[in-house]
């Protein structure tokens, strides 16, 4: 009996020991548990505190609208002829021959995302022209945020690039063996006489002639790193300005598989399948679709720039509660050491100044107020939305026919772009250029690039009036009628009307009058 009692007693003591051990280790395990969320995706983190709609009264009114009755009837009408045409120089006569002798090889190392690098490529061609240098196909740095190692040749059709510019500058895909030592790794290990490290932002043509040309002439090569925003927009010869536009709008074409996927997405947006139509297989692409013998539909592309990087840098409050505020503050500290200019302002001040990116909910309300309804086909151009599907749900409620790369293309079709931020952005850019209307949720490089490109092609582009919208969204008592009227009036002249470039403004956003002529 005593042995039996001891036998029955041991399991109890073992359980107590396990509980006691857990209590002792709990203070150690708890930080580890929460630390695991520091590396979790934004959508995973915010599942613990799902962001709620911030403009319930407006959202309720927007959701009740099922048609655009009473709205402007010219919403989808293309832009009228504004009397300007692309004008990149040249003539029917043969172009002048390139100088027989180049001053040397010019290398540039470009950081940033796809569209910042795109502008850097255009500047690199212009600088090579100024210096009479042979341009080496630009090196694209790995973006610290997106961690994308895609090269120039992964994104752009390099043969097309060289061919379009063959009468303007000499371009090589790689350095000859004599200069093979000039690599990114070489410049990362020590100070090198062939590297120009301190090129000023928006440097003049004279600065390059005085500081880079001697390096070229002495060494036969010069490498400029970093090179983003390193050429002025002012006081340059007209042929250099036109050359920059020629690169941006003519020479930079995406690789064939990007264009093919973009064409497939545009086709499916124009001709959405219906259950009554039979399935057919495209002999060219091998993709399966339904019969497309129907009238093409119009669609709008919305660039939703609402990733964690953007949200954190803005220092705005997006309604995710304390958990979101802490997560964004931690991100700011890790990436920028907490040094973000907007941090010194309150959320109300930032919004009234138009310095907060529009949330998916807010861009949906803007579109609804402008006259888009629940029958609108909307393509969402974005990489990763901070807050995931929980954040996007209000926009999807307003526009149930919303599509994206993932919804329109199969995983097999997306395999070449999966996990590559630059290629994903390239597809969105391509679809954006083929849409009836383009809208961006906030200013940025993608916004600037597409505004300029669509201006060049005279395509409708709605530029949100950020200060106006910020003030409207701060007014919690505003009615739907008041909101809609203010939005319509505030965007009458922001739908693609051509604006001439002012001093210091980017030629890539405002190509007129430098690269366009009045008809």
Would you say residue 382 has pLDDT above 90? no
Banded model confidence at residue 475, pLDDT cuts 50, 70, 90? very high
Q: What is the pLDDT of residue 27?
A: 45
In a domain? residue 33: no
- Look at residue 253 and give its three-state secondary structure: coil
Q: Which of 235, 251, 267 is the last residue of a domain?
A: 251
Do the Cβ atoms of 109 and 99 come closer than 8 Å? no
Which distant-in-sequence residues (6+ apart) come within 8 Å of 59 by Cβ? 53, 361, 364, 365, 394, 398
Task: Indicate if the alpha-carbon torsion angle 235, 504, 229, 498 is positive or negative.
Answer: negative
Same domain, 306 and 173: no
Phi, psi of 156 (to 5 degrees): -110, 150
CA dist., res. 501 & res. 513, Å (int): 7
CA distance 421 to 428: 11
Q: Are residues 247 and 282 in the same domain?
A: no
| One domain, residues 262 and 232 | no
Is residue 242 assigned to a domain?
yes
Give the containing element (helix H, strand E) for 379. strand 377-381
- E-strand ranges in 331-458 read 377-381, 402-403, 437-440
pLDDT given at position 343: 78
* pLDDT tens by residue, 327-363: 998 998 888 887 787 778 899 999 999 999 999 999 9
Instruction: Tell me the C-alpha distance between 217 and 513, whole Å.
Output: 35
- 9 within some domain: no
Report phi then psi at 303, rounded to 5.
Answer: -85, 105
Assigned domain for 26 exists: no
Which DSSP state fits 249?
I
335 with 232, same domain? no
| pLDDT tens column, 151-192 | 999 999 999 999 999 999 999 999 999 999 999 999 999 999
Say whether pLDDT at 443 is over 90.
no
Residue 4 resides in a domain? no
The pLDDT confidence band at residue 497, using thresholds 50, 70 and 90, is: very high
Asked whether residue 106 carries a pLDDT value surpassing 70, the answer given is yes
Overall size of the chain counted in residues: 519
Whether residue 136 is found in the same domain as residue 197: yes
Phi and psi angles of residue 123, each rounded to the nearest 5 degrees, phi first: -65, -35
Query: 188 and 159, same structural domain?
Result: yes
In a domain, 139, yes or no: yes
The mean pLDDT of 462-483, rounded to a whole number, is 96
Question: Mutual orientation of helices 56-64 and 480-490 as an angle, nearest 10°?
Answer: 80
- Strand 195-196 to 170-172 pairing: unpaired
Query: Is 455 a domain residue?
Result: no
Q: Check residue 293 and give its pLDDT.
A: 66
Q: Which of the residue ranges 70-74, 316-320, 492-496 has the most confident prediction, judged by mean pLDDT?
A: 492-496
pLDDT-wise least confident of 32-41, 306-315, 503-512: 32-41
Query: pLDDT tens digit string along 406-442?
Result: 999 999 999 999 999 999 999 999 999 999 999 998 8
Say how far apart CA 43 and CA 29 lie, in whole Å: 24
399 and 296 share a domain? yes
List pLDDT tens digits, range 21-80: 444 444 444 444 444 434 444 444 443 466 788 999 999 999 987 555 444 468 999 999
Average pLDDT over residues 369-389: 91
Of the pLDDT bands very low, low, confident and very high (cuts 50, 70, 90), residue 319 is confident
The model carries a pTM of 0.85
Which residues, at least 6 apart from 97, have a Cβ–Cβ distance to it below 8 Å? Answer: none
Cα(269)–Cα(285) distance, integer angstroms: 17
Per-residue pLDDT at 179: 97
Q: Choose one of 236, 251, 266: the last residue of a domain.
A: 251
Distance of CA 261 to the CA centre of its chain: 18
Residue 120: Cβ within 10 Å count: 22
The CA distances from residue 175 to 137, 181, 222, in Å, are 9, 9, 12
- What are the pLDDT digits (tens) for 253-262? 999 999 999 9
Per-residue confidence (pLDDT) for residue 282, from 0 to 100: 59
Shared domain check, 193 and 328: no
Taking residue 54's Cβ as centre, other Cβ atoms within 10 Å add up to: 16
Q: What is the pLDDT of residue 89?
A: 75
For 254-307, write each residue's pLDDT tens digit. 999 999 999 999 999 999 987 555 555 556 555 555 554 689 999 999 998 888
144 confidence band (pLDDT: 50, 70, 90): confident
408 and 297 within one domain: yes
- How many domains does the chain contain in total? 2
Please give the share of the chain, as a percent, with pLDDT higher than 70. Answer: 83
Within this chain, do residues 235 and 370 fall inside the same structural domain, yes or no?
A: no
Tell which residue, 115, 235, 90, 228, has the closest CA to residue 167.
90
Q: What is the pLDDT of residue 90?
A: 60
Angle subtended at Cα 76 by Cα 70 and Cα 79, rounded to the nearest 5 degrees: 125
Alpha helices, DSSP H, located in 111-193:
114-131, 152-155, 158-164, 184-189
Those residues with Cβ within 8 angstroms of residue 334's Cβ, 6 or more apart along the chain or in another chain: none
Backbone region of residue 315 per phi and psi (left: phi > 0; alpha: psi in -120 to 50; beta: other values): left
E-assigned strands of 189-323?
195-196, 221-224, 279-281, 288-290, 299-303
C-alpha separations of 189 from 81, 185, 195, 247 in Å: 55, 7, 12, 33
Q: Are 430 and 259 in contact (CB under 8 A)?
A: yes
Q: Model confidence at 8, in pLDDT bands (50, 70, 90)?
A: very low
Domain range enclosing 278: 56-70+256-442+461-494
Of 224, 251, 278, which closes a domain? 251
Q: 214: which residues sit within 8 A by CB, 6+ positions away?
A: none
| 95 in a structural domain | no
DSSP 348: H
3-state class of 301 per DSSP?
Answer: strand
Whether residue 380 contacts residue 441, with contact meaning beta carbons closer than 8 Å, is answered with no
Query: Cβ neighbours of residue 342 under 8 Å, at least 6 residues apart?
Result: 313, 314, 315, 316, 350, 355
Angle CA(77)–CA(79)–CA(85) in degrees, nearest 5? 155
pLDDT at 97 (0 to 100)? 61
d(CA 405, CA 391): 18
52 and 429 Cβ atoms separated by less than 8 Å? no
Place of tokens 């909101």: 483
Alpha-carbon span 160 to 152, nearest angstrom:
12
Answer yes or no: do 176 and 243 share one domain: yes
In this structure, the answer to whether residues 217 and 260 fall within a common structural domain is no
């Amino acid at each position: 009996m005593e042995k039996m009692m001891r036998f029955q007693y041991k399991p109890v003591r073992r359980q107590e020991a396990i509980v006691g051990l857990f209590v002792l280790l709990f203070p150690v395990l708890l930080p580890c548990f929460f630390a695991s969320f520091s590396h979790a995706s934004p959508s995973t983190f915010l599942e613990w505190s799902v962001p709620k709609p911030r403009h319930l009264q407006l959202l309720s009114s927007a959701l009740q609208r099922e048609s655009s009755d009473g709205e402007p009837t010219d919403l989808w009408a293309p832009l009228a002829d504004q009397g300007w045409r692309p004008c990149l120089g040249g003539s029917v006569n043969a172009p002048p021959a390139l100088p027989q002798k180049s001053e040397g090889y010019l290398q540039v190392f470009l950081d940033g995302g796809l569209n910042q690098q795109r502008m850097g490529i255009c500047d690199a061609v212009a600088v090579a022209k100024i210096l009479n240098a042979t341009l080496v196909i630009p090196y694209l740095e790995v973006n610290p945020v997106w961690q994308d190692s895609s090269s120039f040749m992964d994104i752009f059709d390099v043969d097309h690039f060289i061919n379009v510019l063959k009468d303007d500058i000499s371009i090589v895909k790689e350095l000859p063996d004599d200069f093979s030592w000039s690599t990114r790794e070489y410049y990362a290990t020590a100070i090198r006489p062939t590297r120009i490290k301190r090129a000023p932002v928006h440097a003049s043509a004279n600065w390059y002639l005085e500081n880079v040309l001697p390096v070229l002439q002495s060494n036969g090569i010069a490498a400029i790193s970093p090179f983003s925003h390193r050429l002025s927009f002012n006081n340059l010869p007209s042929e250099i300005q036109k050359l920059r536009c020629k690169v941006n709008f003519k020479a930079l074409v995406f690789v064939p598989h990007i264009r093919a996927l973009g064409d497939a997405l545009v086709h499916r947006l124009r001709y959405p399948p219906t259950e009554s139509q039979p399935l057919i297989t495209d002999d060219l692409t091998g993709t399966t679709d339904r019969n497309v013998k129907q009238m093409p539909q119009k669609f709008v592309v919305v660039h939703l720039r609402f990733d964690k990087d953007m949200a954190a840098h803005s220092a705005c409050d997006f309604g995710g509660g304390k958990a979101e505020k802490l997560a964004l503050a931690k991100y700011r500290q890790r990436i920028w050491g907490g040094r973000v200019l907007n941090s010194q302002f309150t959320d109300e001040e930032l919004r009234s100044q138009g310095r907060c990116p529009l949330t998916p909910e807010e861009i949906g309300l803007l579109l609804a107020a402008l006259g888009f309804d629940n029958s609108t086909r909307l393509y969402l151009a974005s990489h990763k939305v901070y807050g995931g599907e929980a954040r996007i749900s209000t926009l999807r409620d307003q526009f149930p026919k919303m599509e994206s790369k993932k919804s329109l293309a199969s995983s097999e079709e997306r395999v070449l772009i999966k996990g590559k931020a630059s290629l994903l952005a390239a597809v969105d850019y391509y679809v954006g250029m083929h849409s009836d209307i383009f809208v961006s949720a906030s200013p940025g490089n993608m916004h600037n690039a597409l505004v300029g490109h669509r201006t060049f092609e005279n395509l409708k582009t709605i530029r949100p009036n950020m200060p106006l919208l910020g003030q409207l969204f701060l007014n919690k008592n505003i009615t739907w009628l008041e909101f809609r009227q203010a939005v319509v009036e505030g965007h009458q002249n922001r739908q693609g009307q051509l604006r001439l470039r002012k001093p210091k403004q980017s030629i890539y956003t405002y190509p007129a009058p430098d690269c366009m002529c009045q008809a």
